[in-house]
Amino acid sequence: MGSRHDKGAEDGQQSLTDPPSGHSITPGDLLDQNASPTPKFVYLLAFFSALGGFLFGYDTGVVSGAMLLLKKEMNLDTLWQELLVSSTVGAAAISALSGGFLNGWFGRRICILLASFIFTVGGVTMGVAPNKEVLLVGRITVGLGIGIASMTVPVYIAEVSPPHQRGQLVTVNSLFITGGQFIASVVDGAFSFMKHDGWRYMLGLSVVPAILQFVGFCFLPESPRWLLQKGQREEARQILSQIRGDHAVDEEFDTIKASIEEEEREAGGDGFILMRILNHGPTRRALIVGCGLQMFQQLSGINTVMYYSATILQMGGVRDVKQAIWLAAATSASNFVFTMLGVWLVERVGRRKLTLGSLFGTGLSLTLLAVGFLLAAQSSSPVTLHPAVPLNSTCGHYEFCEPCMLDPGCGFCFLENGTTVYDSSCVPVNETSKDRAAWGRCSNQTEETASPIWAYNYCPTSYSWVILMGLMLYLAFFAPGMGTMPWTVNSEIFPLWARSTGNACSAGVNWIFNVLVSLTFLHVAEFLTYYGAFFMYTGLVVLGIVFVYGCLPETKGLQLEDIENLFMGPLCSCGTSSPNDHRHVQYIRVKGNNYLPSDNEASDVE
């Protein structure tokens, strides 16, 4: 790997470790270089590509509010509700996996255009859907768009960004994801009053950012790194100069070119890329780190916590559906706001520390959530009324709310005076709508305050504040690190030839574990109880800490072409493969300002 670095010296440039006489390079010099303004064009590229992240967030987030209206209007049973929610995530998993091929073959720009086209078609299909079958087709279509966008956008942003700002700009994509989820919850709130057709607006509005992105990308350029890999040198050089503004790009261009040639030599040019990745030590290790991060992101339970937030709020006494919708918007707003913290921190503390700190806090908050659920279970309200239930129902056996609500066939029907629960019973749930009981006092839900309350999947508790605190802390810790870093790190750890396939695999792992965790949550809770489920997530987060501590190197500030060096050593070297240990000497022109070196040194003096 040394050849391209020696080249700089031949060109008369100076090594950082060997400053020219009369000019010793101080950290201040490096800071100045790194601080040179980033051309506005890069921000424009980041914005238009991150609209893909926005659509990812919007389309995954909007469905919960739309479902409240849809299930009434289309009379959806539980199976159809689950289909409409999970089909999108399932389709995203499949298209993310196949997106690697599209990305490598047709380029990042075409893939982003394709994703925004698919989002538009999906949005229109959902907006005009005459029946649930067409709606399902629309949901699957947007899922296909999400999968492609989720693996292409971070790669594209990483490839056009200058090294010292790459982390921040790629993390902006995660900010757009959580921003999309937040806007979706606001749109859900705003249209929830439209009992008829409100869902059409909720689902259909996604065409607006999709069209904006499509039109924008008709005018925006391809990634110069991809073009260079495809041998289109002149166009690559021209685009790189356009993106870098007045900075000359010879150095960066030569580095990318040399590294592509070297990579092809080292990794061999034949065979399936996935096989080449697996047969080549550094890329195999990068793949394990990338997929592991994505797996632990989902195993930390983010989507369970987000999905479950409305129920958590109901436990705390928010029984009005409208109020619950708005408070759920507050949950996604927190996720969004704390993601901003991640954008701010990523270039300051680096990826490794941010991920570790985030996992640590996530583990503590999950413990708090689990303890809250444990306290709630232990003080669970007794069943005081025992109406005759059909013999085939298990609901008549329960003496307390806790086992009653853990049985998917039953719910808790009660009256409330302040925080005191009375006249409570455990009765079968209506199979077509879980919002009411199959028969009896809770089978006909009215808005009257004196009418009995139907609690499905939750129990009233005075410990809801512990759970609520756990929820808020969880988002504060998860969002800036584990919510963002898996996407950011994956966009930078693979060499160019392996980047599309590597990201396709890791994004696919993210979506597969997303489906797995959301589909199994209620069953896990049924077997382990809620506190058991949250203790289990805590255990998985502890495994995540061991994995990240052992295997995640710091990639902050390095040029993409140098990151492969971090994976030369053994897989888990406990962070010792930091950039400073494996850094190759980088060369800069001391006079003239045409190349941005790594900002490792800058960070040391920050």
Ligand X SMILES: O[C@H]1[C@H](O)[C@@H](O)[C@H](O)[C@@H](O)[C@H]1O
Contact flags string 428-447 toward ligand X, x per CB under 6 A: --------------------
Choose between 102 and 306: whose C-beta lies nearer to ligand X. 306
Choose between 475 and 602: whose C-beta lies nearer to ligand X. 475
Contact flags string 366-395 toward ligand X, x per CB under 6 A: ------------------------------
For the bound state, the minimum distance from the C-beta of residue 479 to ligand X, rounded and expressed in Å, comes to 7
Kindly state the number of chain residues that form the binding site for ligand X, as judged by CB under 6 A. Answer: 11
The type of residue at 6 is D
Q: Pick the binder of ligand X from 335, 457, 491, 518 (CB under 6 A).
A: 335
Is residue 178 part of the contact set for ligand X (CB under 6 A)?
yes
Choose between 178 and 309: whose C-beta lies nearer to ligand X. 178
CB 561 within 8 A of CB 255: yes
The H or E element spanning position 417 is: strand 410-417
Distance between CA 351 and CA 336 in Å, rounded? Answer: 19
Q: Pick the binder of ligand X from 34, 87, 165, 174 (CB under 6 A).
A: 174
Residues 6+ apart with CB under 8 A from 183: 54, 57, 58
Stretch near ligand X under the rule CB under 6 A, chosen from 174-182, 197-205, 261-269, 578-586? 174-182
Is residue 491 part of the contact set for ligand X (CB under 6 A)?
no
Stretch near ligand X under the rule CB under 6 A, chosen from 108-116, 175-183, 200-208, 492-500? 175-183
Q: How many CA atoms lie within 13 A of 406 on its CB side?
A: 21
Stretch near ligand X under the rule CB under 6 A, chosen from 172-180, 214-222, 310-318, 464-472? 172-180
Contact flags string 247-286 toward ligand X, x per CB under 6 A: ----------------------------------------
- Output the CA–CA distances (angstroms, integers) from residue 197 to 91, 432, 434, in the order listed: 25, 21, 21
Measuring CA to CA, which residue among 604, 556, 575 is closest to residue 170? 556
Residue with tokens 């790190």: 489
Residue with tokens 């391209």: 4
Residue 483 tokens, joined:
């919510």
In the window 32-71, what residues touch ligand X (CB under 6 A)? none
Q: How many CA atoms lie within 13 A of 234 on its CB side?
A: 0
Choose between 502 and 579: whose C-beta lies nearer to ligand X. 502
Choose between 540 and 572: whose C-beta lies nearer to ligand X. 540
Q: Pick the binder of ligand X from 129, 177, 356, 453 (CB under 6 A).
A: 177
Neighbours of 234 (CB within 10 A): 8
Which pairs with CB-CB distance under 8 Å and at least 24 residues apart come from 315-322? Answer: 315/376, 315/458, 315/459, 315/460, 315/461, 315/464, 315/467, 316/464, 316/465, 316/467, 316/468, 317/419, 317/460, 317/464, 319/453, 321/68, 321/192, 322/189, 322/192
Stretch near ligand X under the rule CB under 6 A, chosen from 68-76, 170-178, 454-462, 468-476? 170-178
For the bound state, the minimum distance from the C-beta of residue 303 to ligand X, rounded and expressed in Å, comes to 5
Is residue 483 part of the contact set for ligand X (CB under 6 A)?
yes
Choose between 178 and 365: whose C-beta lies nearer to ligand X. 178
CB 50 within 8 A of CB 176: yes
DSSP-derived 3-state class of residue 143:
helix
Residues 6+ apart with CB under 8 A from 91: 139, 140, 141, 142, 143, 144, 146, 147
- Output the CA–CA distances (angstroms, integers) from residue 340 to 160, 334, 343, 479, in the order listed: 21, 10, 5, 9
For the bound state, the minimum distance from the C-beta of residue 336 to ligand X, rounded and expressed in Å, comes to 9
Ranked by CB distance to ligand X, the top (closest) residue is 483
In the window 283-322, what residues touch ligand X (CB under 6 A)? 297, 302-303
In the window 181-210, what residues touch ligand X (CB under 6 A)? 181
Stretch near ligand X under the rule CB under 6 A, chosen from 79-87, 173-181, 378-386, 441-449? 173-181
Distance between CA 412 and CA 459 in Å, rounded? Answer: 7
Distance between CA 126 and CA 201 in Å, rounded? Answer: 9
Positions touching ligand X (CB under 6 A) are 174, 177-178, 181, 297, 302-303, 335, 483, 510, 514
